[in-house]
Amino acid sequence: MRRTLLTICASVLVLTAIGLVPVLSEDKKETAEAFNPFKAGDMHKVLHDHYVGDFTLTCKFWMDRKGEPMTSEGTATGEQLFGGRYVRQSFQVATKDGRMKLNGWSFHGYDTSNKQFIYAVIGDMGTGMDRYTGTYDEKANTITHQGQGYIEGYGNFSSRIVTHLTSKDEMKVEFFTTYTKVDEYKEMELIVTRKKP
């Protein structure tokens, strides 16, 4: 009996979540989405304003912290997913000599339960998924993400990614990395500029 009751409750919750069972009142017609605590909010709008659209990318990458950076250029296209809860960007970057190319996806979101931004990246330069969580500094208009990982040949690392939301048409993203026995240094800088219509 208990199992049956749990199954019925779970079914009703699923149907409500996808909007097939409307929540009605006598004076209003409202769907379950209006009462959904996990719907897109103000922080999701920050992501939408800065990551949705077509962009050009200009990248500097330091293989040696004391050396000259490699440069590359590329493009990115961002679109909303699942009612604005997430943004997915597809990106392509290549060095000017064409010897190094990178294609991938980045996912941006805001976890309303944990009150933190989430950021994940996959691409054709690796087989793992980089994952980060971050906070928003409204006064400085920056999002700072933190994450850890492991790279074969390099060992454990930690990353700090600072995204300066300069305007709705431009961002500067700085990637700071700490490797085993190597202090934090600026490994990459990315300038993201919205394409003009």
Given a contact cutoff of 8 angstroms between Cβ atoms, the answer to whether 187 and 177 are in contact is yes
- List the beta bridge partners of residue 146: 133, 160
C-alpha pair distances (Å), 155 with each of 63, 75, 107, 184: 15, 30, 25, 14
Segments in the chain below pLDDT 70: 1-35
pTM here?
0.80
Amino acid at 55: F
User: Residue 112's closest CA among 86, 90, 87?
Assistant: 86
CA distance 51 to 31: 29
Are the beta carbons of 192 and 170 closer than 8 angstroms? yes
For 114-172, write each residue's pLDDT tens digit. 999 999 999 998 899 999 999 999 999 999 999 999 888 878 999 999 999 999 999 99
pLDDT of residue 32: 59
Q: What is the pLDDT of residue 15?
A: 41
